[in-house]
Structure 1
Amino acid sequence: MLRTIRAKFLGVAAFFVVWLVVATGFSVIQSLGINGDLEAVSRYVTPVKDSLSDVRARQLEQISLIDRYMRVVESDGPQTSLLNGIEIEIEAKQTQIEQAFRKSFTFAALGRAQASGHFDEGVLFDLDVRMREFADVSAQFSLGVERLLDQVRAGNLADARSQENTVRGLHRIIVLNLRNEIRLLEDYAAQTVENVSKREDFLIQAEFIMMLAAVIIGISLAYYMAHAVVVAVRKTTSALNSIQSGKLDTKLEFSSKGDFGRLADAFNRMTRELRVRFRMRERFGKYVDPKVINNLINQETALENSEKRVMTVSVVNLTGFDWLAEHTPPEKLVDFLNDYLTAMTEPIANQSGIIDNFVGDRVIGFWGPPFCGEGSHAKHACQAALEQVARFNALKTKYAELIGDHGLEIRVGIATGEVVVGSIGTDKSRAYTVVGDCVNYANRLEKANRVYGTQILASHETASMASGEVEMRDLDHVVLLGTEKVVFLYEVLAQGGQLSEERREWRSKYETAMAHYRDGNFDAARPLYEEVIAFDDSDFAAQLMMNRMERLERREQDREWDGTWVVRDPYERRDVES
């Protein structure tokens, strides 16, 4: 049984080749038979008939000459000179008769030798034999004519008249036989032509029937095979659409065990693998950000390649967690930690960010192409940080009894810069992460919140990229601990356009005071800082600046003031507390 599509098509092609060979062979055989019949008639039967007709005509002419000869003998006597001329004509006719007989015999013999298949039946069966018999009778007639002429020359008129009667009898036999033979040959030729015409009609009808049968069979086979292919394609398309819509339990089944059966087996294996991969993806997505998984799936080279990109990194840390861990039952601590990590990670995911990793209560995320736009990753990071602060405030309300007055807060550091992003690690253990000075910078900014009493600090690059989208305060210019680079610190305050007029004025006074502070005009800066503190007495940054001005006036910085504070103490809390 043909199972493959190729075998089916080859089988159909082989069928039509065999059909064509059979039809062609049938036509050739019939055509050869028709041509053989026509050739036998035209090359042998007709020439024999024509020769016999010539014999008959010469025979009639010869008997007429004999009648004339005997009348001359009766009227003028056997010695008249006219008889010599008539005798010559009689002998010439006899020669013509013999030649015509030899011609008919020759054609009959050739027909028997070269076209024996057409001379095996009917009138042609013993044609050459009959021609020989005719020749024998004609020879007897010729001998009788010679005797007649000899008796006339000898003057035996009575014997001559008797011989004339014998000759006339032979003549009648010859003419009668010739007439019958010619009629038989004419009937045979006419019957052959009629048979040839019928066979030609039959051949035309047979060829038409074979052609019609080939068309019907071909259309039927083509419809059957096309229908089978169309049904298979429709089933496969429907199954693929179901898979695309998320129905991974879809199965493809065909009754045949050939190519379509193998297609169904391959499809069902694919769906089983997809179900396994989907379950693994769901489970793996709890450990690796789903956007990373999608990116790695869509970009095959992303697993092997790492590249440099400008991205934004965020570091979130929870202050006071060590105390909470020591004084909280494990089950309650786990509940709180799960809610806390959910509150910190969901804003990152909501803002098109990638959760890099967890280090205790520290959450690290990053933003950048291809997960978000080239110019929008700083904005997303700042908005995620604001949402994290809002969610943590709600979390403190939920766990107020557990936290008490131990002052748990979160600190967020946001930095924008060049990082190396990609699959990084050992041959056996790798992670999709970011590394670079920008990550360290974000860590330092997170720690710097402790100095300024802020919750969200961003770098100058972050502030520049998110300008207009997020409300910020130009907080300070410092050289952070462990670095020599001057960095500009910005406090993230609110979403763009969501800062009240009072807070805008408060920010403006602080930034004006900072300008005087950086110019070394401390007398002008001090009253502005006091106003800022009067508006918000928890603003540690303003208190820190006033402390620094006092220290600078006491020349506690061992260099000329240029508006940039060099952080030497890891926390600088004494600046606020003194």
Structure 2
Amino acid sequence: MRLNIAHKIFGIAVVILVLMICVAVLSGRLTARISAELNNIAYKQLPLSNEIGELNVRILEQGLLIQRLFALPGDPADSLDRIKELGAEIDHDFKENFELFEREEQSANPPPGIFELHKALKRVEGEYRKLQRDGLELVRLHANKDSERFHALLVDFNQEQNAVDQEVAALREYMEKIAEDAVKRSDRDERFLLYFNSGLTGLAVILGIGFSSLVTYILVRNVRILVRAAEAVEEGNLDTEVPPLSRDEIGRLGLSFNDMVDGLRLKERIKDMFGKYMDPRIVSRLLENPEFARMGGTRQEMTVMFIDLKGYTTLSENLEPPELLDVINLFLSSMTQAVSNRNGVINDFLGDAVMAFWGPPFTKPDEHAALACDAARDAILQFQSFRDQVREKLGARADHLDLDMRIGISTGEMIAGNIGSLASKKYSVIGDPVNLGARLEGANKVYGTRIMASNRTRELALDRFKGRELDLIKVKGKSAPTRVYELFEPDLLRPDLSHALAAYRRQDWTGANAAFEQVLAQDPDDPVAQVFLFRTAQLQAKPPEADWDGVWELQEK
């Protein structure tokens, strides 16, 4: 039988209530019995005892009057009248007492000893009738002066008087015994009632405390088990399972808890499995909010990054397919770690390239550009570790591999949302800033740089942007020029190009050459200065239009 908590608490209350009802019922019955005993003593035995006493007094008075009639001289008329009057009263008392006995004998619950008392009273009456008869005979003999018969009957009269006294004394003694027994029974019942009430009340207290303690212990124990299990789940232990606790609400709560943990384990497996195909945060949002899977998107400012592995062709020519895949996967894993460590979302793997983005709802609205720049520098560090791993994996064959990487970062308003068909879709970003990011990654080849960022990226990440202006370019597919910047790698500083670029844009080729030569004097390995020296030589040989705005148009994607 399944009992819930309410049933258990109600059961304890019912047990205590039943015990209290038993106490009340037995107490009422014993009290009624004690009351009946006391009422019998007070309203029946004591009045009856008084009646017997008065009857005895009248009998004695009648006997004394008869004795005085014989012993004292005087007018016997008054004594005879009193004797007759007493006789009438005695007869009346006997009649009333017998009627009382008969009523009590015919009642539903006759008092104890009523029948014996009735018999004893009849014996008293019988002795009295003899005494009365002989007394009247003595009066007649005395009046007739029959001395001989008088004295003979007087002896019998005295004996009969003693017999009446003895019968009355025995009757009163028996009545006193009945009253004493009734008092003893009342006292016994009263003591029993006290002990029974105390015992049953104590039992109710013990059972109440015992049952309550047991139920409380079970409830608290089960709740603590649930609390410990919830804390374990909160700490990430999804193997937690609550054993069967009970068949009440706590037990059902335990089953629900296990179902919840099963659901969490399922979600975690789904996240773990699909997180290998898309960003785990996207999987989490899909699991937590199915509305997130609806087609459509929102326009918002975000930052996108493209990372490409340089030297893929050489790799594919020198490595077997399994080795090539191992190296590519190692590169992609390194880049993924750099992006994920800075809260970026991997949007896609494009062969040997990575596309990632930052922005709401995965980052705060004002930190996506700075996070992308930090991730780019982390990617450079990860790439150095990647090259060491490739050397360890391939040995001497790695010496012939020209491995490097390029990164393009672009910030601007783009559309973020679910893109695809009803059969297949993914959460992605589209827009001009996305295309620009891909172009900037490729533009690194022109300038010999590793990380190139758009002007808007620099503006938003200014406090954490360590770099320099590169050029004002027009990428393929865009009509508006874009000011681009080089983001320095970790532990790398390059000379500033602002003065050289200013001379370059004024078409001051001599001044520009001198400025770029000065940059090379500071950093002979600066690839950008070398690119501009070559370009200024070309422009000096074939000058542009007079209204040239300094924008360099890239023909390559």
The corresponding residue for 2:470 is: 475
Amino acid at match of 2:338: P
How far the C-alpha of 1:282 sits from its partner, in A, is 3.3
Q: How big is the shift at 1:253?
A: 4.2
C-alpha change, 1:408 and 1:250, in structure 2 (3 Å) is closer
Q: Does 1:339 align with 2:334?
A: no
Q: Secondary structure, in 3 states, of the residue corresponding to 1:352?
A: coil
Match of 1:565 in 2: 551
How far off its partner does 1:427 sit? 4.7
Q: 8 Å contact 1:368–1:377 — kept in the other structure? A: yes
Residue 522 of structure 2 is aligned to residue 527 of structure 1 = no
**1:347-392 CA deviation, whole Å, 9 max, x = no partner?**
1123232212112222111234565555443222113223334544
Deviation of 1:447 after TM superposition, in Å, equals 3.6
Q: Which runs of 5+ in 2 are unaligned?
A: none
Shift of 1:511: 1.0
Q: Is the Cα contact below 8 Å between 1:476 and 1:489 reproduced in 2?
A: yes
Identity %: 26
Which residue of structure 2 aligns with residue 465 of structure 1? 460
TM-score by length of 1: 0.78
Aligned partner letter, 1:16? I
Q: How does 1:352-501 map to 2 (within 5 A)?
A: 352-368=343-359, 371-392=362-383, 398=390, 409-421=404-416, 425-495=420-490, 498-500=491-493
Q: What's the counterpart of residue 187 of structure 1?
A: 177
The one-character-per-residue Cα deviations of 1:33-73 (angstroms, maximum 9, x if unpaired) are 2222222222211111111011111222222222233334x
Q: For residues 131 and 264 of structure 1, what CA distance do their matches in structure 2 show?
A: 82
In 1, the alpha carbon distance for the partners of 2:17 and 2:269 equals: 54
Match of 2:303 among 307, 312, 332: 312
CA distance in 1, matches of 2:142, 2:432: 155
Which deviates more from structure 2 when the two are superposed, residues 20-29 or residues 521-530?
A: 521-530
Q: Matched residue of 1:554: which SS?
A: coil
Picking from 93, 96, 116, the partner of 2:89 is 96
Q: In the alignment, what sits opposite 2:41? A: 41
538-547 or 156-165, which deviates more? 156-165
Counterparts of 2:537 and 2:102 in 1: how far apart (Å)? 146
Distance 2:244 2:378 in 1: 54
Query: What is the RMSD computed on CA atoms of the aligned residues?
Result: 4.2
| 1:180 CA drift (Å) | 1.0
Aligned to 1:555: 545
Q: State the partner residue of 1:576.
A: none
Which amino acid is 2:514 matched to?
Answer: P
Aligned residue identity for 1:92: E
1:575 is matched with none
Q: Structure 2 counterpart of 1:512, which letter?
A: H
Of 125, 128, 151 in structure 1, the residue corresponding to residue 115 of structure 2 is 125
| Aligned pairs for 1:44-193 within 5 A | 44-72=44-72, 75-76=73-74, 82-114=75-107, 116-119=109-112, 123-131=113-121, 134-135=124-125, 138=128, 170-193=160-183
Paired residues of 2:123 and 2:167 also in contact (CA < 8 A):
no
Relative to structure 1, the CA distance from residue 152 to residue 391 in structure 2 (aligned partners, 3 Å threshold; closer, same or farther) is: closer
Deviation, structure 1 residue 133: 5.4
C-alpha separation between the residues in 2 aligned to 1:167 and 1:564?
169
Larger deviation: 460-469 or 8-17?
A: 8-17
Q: Which residue of 2 aligns with 1:79?
A: none
TM-score (norm 2): 0.81
- The code of the aligned residue for 2:333 comes to T
1:191: Cα distance to partner?
1.9
Listed one character per residue, the Cα deviations across residues 125-181 of structure 1 (whole Å, up to 9, x for unaligned) are 343454455456556655665666667777878777777666655543333222111
Greater CA deviation, 284-293 or 299-308? 299-308
Q: Alpha-carbon deviation of 1:555?
A: 1.2
How far does residue 426 in structure 1 lie from its aligned partner after superposition? 4.6
Taking structure 1 as reference, are residues 267 and 537 closer, same or farther at Cα in structure 2, changes over 3 Å only?
closer
Number of corresponding residues: 549
Deviation at 1:4, TM superposition (A): 6.1
- Asked whether the 8 Å contact 1:48–1:108 carries over to 2, the reply is no
How far apart, in 2, do the equivalents of 1:341 and 1:161 lie? 153
